Amino acid sequence: MVNTNVLDDVFDNFVNRINIFKDREVLRHDYIPEKLPHREDQIRLLGERVAPVLKAARCSNIFIYGKTGTGKTAVTKYVLKHLEEKSKQYGAQVKFCYINCRTTGSEYRVFAELGHNVGISIPFTGLSVEEVTARFRVKLDAAHTLFIIVLDEVDALIKEKGDAFMYELTRINENLTQSKVSIIGISNDLRLKEFLDPRVFSSLSEEELVFRPYDASELRNILLERSKISFQDDVLTDSALSICSALAAAEHGDARRALDLLRVAGEVAERQEAKNITAEHVQQAEKHIEHNRVVEALNNLTLHSKLVLLSVYHLNKASATTGEIYDVYNELCGEFGAGLLTQRRLGSLINELDSMGIVNAKVVSMGRYGRTKKIRFEIPRSLIRDVFGADVRFSNIIDYKPQTPKKHVLNNNH
DNA sequence: CGTCCACAGGAATGACGGGCGG
DNA sequence: CCGCCCGTCATTCCTGTGGACG
């Protein structure tokens, strides 16, 4: 009885509350707005580069550089969206394919994704990369079209797997007679050319485009523009707007971060049933975002990565070495009934945790007492307790089934 | 100033789940 | 169904190394 009353209140409150948002989707960073402030130049330049496509000519390969949240992806998608409309209008044969290399993960999956895009189904394993490329090429050639491939965050894939697949891609036109391919590469890392074979680099960077980070006042404009569509009038205070743009500007002018901050601040204000969004809400949002990011990362770790983290936790030191961690990890595996990995493997797991920003691993030399990694938490210890439970040792380390020790989870998402 | 620790991290190899062509 | 191929992840084996100690 009591429960339903409480719930009634919750729902009634929600409905009757003063609405802060008009359209919260607008603040998601994958939303492409009608207007991209301070990127007019880039839009025009990119537009000029891809325009030949409308007259059935292949456009140059383009390389786009810029740090995260500088609008590379947004501008590219924006331009291609309009190009698509125009190409329909003029009846030009153009196809587009957008691939995020970091989430796609491997050379094989990139080609599989390309294949899907031209309408062939490709199993998630079992074929050689060459086979997949060949099928893609045949199907593409039969399509009689210009094909623009956007490879977002290519730097991630190149650093991990090398540039052989890029070489393959840049040469694909040689084997096509009816269709042509253009590549738009997007990189977060300005030093990417150091990782590339000069031949690949030169054919890939027929044109280059650099995106500078936004400064605080530019971020402010962007936020202002979006807040007009996303929030009710007069909800966002000036101080909140300023602190949002200042915080994001301090972090290399990341517009994505600024937008997240603003959206979450709005949600915080909404939950507190405030009439408007204040600087206070923004600061709470900042903590909130960081917390969520880490919790999600922790929950998605594999069993062994979790065990490694717990080992570091139990060591309870300012910084632990690989050897120490391996000892504790060994013990934990025994208690847990899990098969243990080698120290070599553990080293890579630690590196992964490091690149995720969960731990900090630094290689240090201790003279003739060896060379090791010093590992310390980059996140508060309390968070480990929160996520893995109060009794950390025998904690609910989720979904582990001792009788069917799964080796690795198949990446079977479509 | 050479030694030598305690690992780092690259390369080769194996196990596994899976697709393909016949 | 079979024999063969593949990509991925983990293991094994290996060489490399920074700098405090003696």
The answer to whether the CB of A338 falls within 8 A of the CB of A307 is yes
A150: helix, coil or strand?
strand
Distance between the alpha carbon (CA) of A342 and the C1' atom of B14, Å: 15
* pLDDT the model gives residue A401: 34
Chain B nucleotides close to protein (CB under 7 A) are 3-11, 16-20
* pLDDT the model gives residue A22: 84
Instruction: State the nucleotide closest to A369 in CA–C1' terms.
Output: B5
Residue at shortest CA–C1' distance from B3: A368
* pLDDT the model gives residue A404: 30
The string of DSSP codes covering A68-119 is TTSSHHHHHHHHHHHHHHHHHHHT--EEEEEEEHHHH-SHHHHHHHHHHHTT
Mean pLDDT by 10 residues, chain A (414 residues): 75 75 84 90 94 92 92 94 93 91 86 88 83 89 92 86 82 88 90 78 86 92 90 86 91 89 90 86 91 86 87 86 90 80 91 89 89 90 79 46 31 29
Distance between the alpha carbon (CA) of A222 and the C1' atom of B9, Å: 44
In order of A21, A118, A375, A404, the CA distances from A144 in angstroms are 46, 11, 54, 49
The answer to whether the CB of A265 falls within 8 A of the CB of A284 is yes
Residue at shortest CA–C1' distance from C11: A342
* pLDDT the model gives residue A389: 64
| Closest alpha carbon to A275 in A227, A234, A228 | A234
- Measured CA to CA, the distance from residue A181 to residue A143 in angstroms comes to 12
Distance between the alpha carbon (CA) of A410 and the C1' atom of C13, Å: 28
Distance between the alpha carbon (CA) of A222 and the C1' atom of B4, Å: 59
Distance between the alpha carbon (CA) of A161 and the C1' atom of C15, Å: 22
- Measured CA to CA, the distance from residue A117 to residue A310 in angstroms comes to 42
Sheet strands side by side (includes A62-66): A94-100, A146-152, A180-187, A62-66, A207-211
A361: helix, coil or strand?
strand
Chain C nucleotides close to protein (CB under 7 A) are 5-14, 16-21
The string of DSSP codes covering A26-38 is GGSTT---S--TT
- Measured CA to CA, the distance from residue A127 to residue A193 in angstroms comes to 30
Residue at shortest CA–C1' distance from B18: A126
The answer to whether the CB of A239 falls within 8 A of the CB of A277 is no
- Measured CA to CA, the distance from residue A320 to residue A361 in angstroms comes to 9
Cβ neighbours, 10 Å, residue A359: 23
